[in-house]
Chain A
């Protein structure tokens, strides 16, 4: 008879067989047997966070920057409830996470025991699937299944809840079965006919656009390479969602910038006026579409997505193609090469008017802002950060708010997996722990969290984690003392009633950095900004960079919600030039 292993041993054997190198976690009563076992498994390194939410976001940052699933280990009760925000965040942004939680012993479940909560009940709506292990014999299969569910199809978080008595019990460990299909759920469900139809639409279109999203990134780095080939082969313009940034080079002439609520004038107008929209791995989110009834009224819509339930959820499409982005693009390029080898050239004439129109929209320079010699404009700070880190293969995370949009607008990405931001759930406090996870995955790379002072305070405790593991993350705070996006909405839509959006007491971030044992740097005016950024980049330790920026700056362009794409608010420079008066002025 083969050797029997305890539940705790089985957990680690599963992790080893799933090639897990790092787990992000926090110990507690109900996971002590698992923590006791940790010492016997040297290939797995545990990263001790300061709060379970931080473990979740760090695992997300790890997963998004490495393409591997992130693993989280938490205790029962508060350990599990604290990780719920991160699980929901991962669910919304399709990030593969495997969360293992301890639970009170089986015989105490349902008795309101100490640190008991209905973990599988609480996390059911924010995971792809979850399991409560009631029999030790099921444990290895469940954990292997958990990895499978998290990483296949549209990726997402899963949770395995293991009662403490199960962690002590013994049984035989079983290795993962290779290529087992879960209830026959296939990833690709398209055939050549769909691809032919797509190419027919492409050759008919005179105003086409690619609208790409996080699905391209999730499909793997190969998908991004193929996307570039596809854009080359067609000559079509391309725009990207917040999550898709990096799948196509941000400084390429075919790229119209990000679209959506704070997207560029050219991207949004092109989306509104196009006659063919090819959605690749995006989900018609409400921040993208604006008013649904007036969304891109004249276009044929193609939607390529791995998740069948994303199709026709928000916007009805003419040609759905269900499949992995990489496989769909591969087939498309192959067919173009075979049937229309000179497509881009022969089609150039047909879409030249469209490009002329796009050029006109571009001339609006919708991302421009009025710079200042006295105060640091937040956009300028991001631009300088970009210029000074360009070519360093930098990884950027963000918190949520104005700074996030400015980062998306002004930092140009040219590789996938370099941009980690909370898009779907919009979780303030995401960026700092995410940066911890990114730096774990890429110890020698430059990792910067472009942050706001309000967001970063929500998970500031993770600086302590960064110091413990010598992770030289850079927290670049655009400090305007306001919850900037809240303030902006209050200014534009609530008669400048800045209700509770000003933080009257902020810590001294430089001293705070010193207290954590890292380095604090402050920049107060544009003249010293470059030198201070260079000082930050030359510091081989974690840095909190307190960049004092203009307190009143708003993030433009902006589509007010409930408005279609062609009714954007532009920035102050444009208003000055066009002398908007009367009604137009009251809008801004």
Chain B
């Protein structure tokens, strides 16, 4: 017999990656409410992006990348909808072809010009923008998928990458429709 006052865990379902988009009133503590809900209920946050998107209506848009069983994802949505400052919640599967996901990264590259040029070249296919250059360094901006940026940050190490700064994913549906 179990010595615990609680039951033992049941069968676990399959984990899926989801992108949850939350529209909230931009007020003090709102991010803490959303993030606190995740930590308090043991949900996972892989990345988080948040900024005001409508200054007039005072609306912020939070994009959260998370993993969980279908049941957990469903709970995340329903629990988020219960928060008073939350207006609407959208949920996209990572594999959804109808949704565009992008992350941005800034790479600081230090080294000789040959190496740096090579690095910049490697970044080309990820919408590379050279934001700053000196005799010794570049700062390059790329926008790409998470795994692409993961790969670039690994590959650029040997080409003089000394610092990486990156955002969480943001998402938007393709086509003319907007999420209501």
Give the B-binding residues of A (Cβ under 8 A): 120-121, 124-125, 128-129, 132, 134, 149, 153, 182-183, 286, 290-293, 307-309, 311-313, 316, 489, 493-494, 560-563, 587
Given contacts A120-B29, A121-B32, A132-B28, 15 further A-B contacts (CB under 8 A): A128-B82, A129-B83, A132-B29, A183-B87, A286-B6, A291-B7, A292-B7, A293-B10, A309-B81, A309-B82, A493-B1, A494-B3, A560-B2, A561-B4, A562-B8
**Which residues from chain B contact A128 at a C-beta distance below 8 Å?**
82, 84
Nearest Cβ on chain A to B79's Cβ, whole angstroms: 5
**Which residues from chain B contact A493 at a C-beta distance below 8 Å?**
1-3
- Bound complex: CA of A86 vs CA of B135, how far in Å? 64
- Bound complex: CA of A292 vs CA of B10, how far in Å? 7
Contact between B82 and A562, CB atoms less than 8 A apart:
no
The answer, yes or no, to whether B33 is at the interface (CB within 8 Å) is yes
6 inter-chain pairs at a CB distance below 8 angstroms, sorted by A residue, are A124-B32, A125-B36, A183-B86, A291-B7, A309-B79, A311-B78
Contact between A129 and B84, CB atoms less than 8 A apart:
yes
**Which residues from chain A contact B8 at a C-beta distance below 8 Å?**
291, 562
The chain A residue sitting closest to B39, CB to CB, is A125
Across the interface, A183 reaches (CB within 8 A) one of B4, B71, B84, namely B84
- Bound complex: CA of A311 vs CA of B79, how far in Å? 11
**Which residues from chain A contact B6 at a C-beta distance below 8 Å?**
286, 561-562
- Bound complex: CA of A311 vs CA of B71, how far in Å? 10
The answer, yes or no, to whether B75 is at the interface (CB within 8 Å) is yes
Q: Specify which of B32, B81, B82, B85 lies most central, judged by the most chain A CB atoms within 10 Å of its CB.
A: B82
Nearest Cβ on chain A to B163's Cβ, whole angstroms: 31
Residues of chain B in range 81-101 having any CB-CB distance to chain A below 8 Å: 81-87
**Which residues from chain B contact A183 at a C-beta distance below 8 Å?**
84-87
Contact between B2 and A125, CB atoms less than 8 A apart:
no
The answer, yes or no, to whether B124 is at the interface (CB within 8 Å) is no
The answer, yes or no, to whether B5 is at the interface (CB within 8 Å) is yes
Residues of chain B in range 32-78 having any CB-CB distance to chain A below 8 Å: 32-33, 36, 40, 71, 74-75, 78
- Bound complex: CA of A293 vs CA of B11, how far in Å? 8
Contact between B7 and A308, CB atoms less than 8 A apart:
no
Across the interface, A560 reaches (CB within 8 A) one of B1, B29, B33, B78, namely B1
**Which residues from chain A contact B10 at a C-beta distance below 8 Å?**
291-293
| A286-B6, A309-B75, A562-B8 as given contacts; A124 in contact with B84, CB under 8 Å | no
Contact between A561 and B84, CB atoms less than 8 A apart:
no
| A183-B84, A286-B6, A292-B10 as given contacts; A124 in contact with B1, CB under 8 Å | no
Contact between B78 and A308, CB atoms less than 8 A apart:
yes
- Bound complex: CA of A291 vs CA of B29, how far in Å? 38
Nearest Cβ on chain B to A428's Cβ, whole angstroms: 15
Contact between B1 and A587, CB atoms less than 8 A apart:
yes
**Which residues from chain A contact B74 at a C-beta distance below 8 Å?**
312
- Bound complex: CA of A489 vs CA of B1, how far in Å? 12
- Bound complex: CA of A494 vs CA of B2, how far in Å? 10
**Which residues from chain A contact B2 at a C-beta distance below 8 Å?**
493, 560-563
Across the interface, A307 reaches (CB within 8 A) one of B28, B82, B85, namely B82
- Bound complex: CA of A312 vs CA of B36, how far in Å? 22
**Which residues from chain B contact A494 at a C-beta distance below 8 Å?**
3
Nearest Cβ on chain A to B34's Cβ, whole angstroms: 11
**Which residues from chain B contact A182 at a C-beta distance below 8 Å?**
84
**Which residues from chain B contact A290 at a C-beta distance below 8 Å?**
7
- Bound complex: CA of A134 vs CA of B82, how far in Å? 24
Contact between A316 and B71, CB atoms less than 8 A apart:
yes
- Bound complex: CA of A307 vs CA of B82, how far in Å? 9
| A292-B7, A292-B10, A562-B8 as given contacts; A312 in contact with B79, CB under 8 Å | no
**Which residues from chain A contact B86 at a C-beta distance below 8 Å?**
183
**Which residues from chain B contact A121 at a C-beta distance below 8 Å?**
29, 32
Nearest Cβ on chain A to B23's Cβ, whole angstroms: 10
**Which residues from chain B contact A132 at a C-beta distance below 8 Å?**
28-29
The chain A residue sitting closest to B88, CB to CB, is A183
- Bound complex: CA of A120 vs CA of B33, how far in Å? 10
The 7 closest A-B pairs by CB, nearest first: A309-B78, A562-B2, A129-B84, A293-B10, A562-B7, A292-B10, A493-B3
| A183-B86, A309-B75 as given contacts; A286 in contact with B7, CB under 8 Å | yes
- Bound complex: CA of A481 vs CA of B28, how far in Å? 49
Q: Specify which of B7, B28, B32, B40 lies most central, judged by the most chain A CB atoms within 10 Å of its CB.
A: B7
**Which residues from chain A contact B36 at a C-beta distance below 8 Å?**
124-125
**Which residues from chain A contact B32 at a C-beta distance below 8 Å?**
121, 124
The chain A residue sitting closest to B87, CB to CB, is A183
**Which residues from chain A contact B84 at a C-beta distance below 8 Å?**
128-129, 149, 182-183
| A124-B36, A125-B36 as given contacts; A313 in contact with B4, CB under 8 Å | no
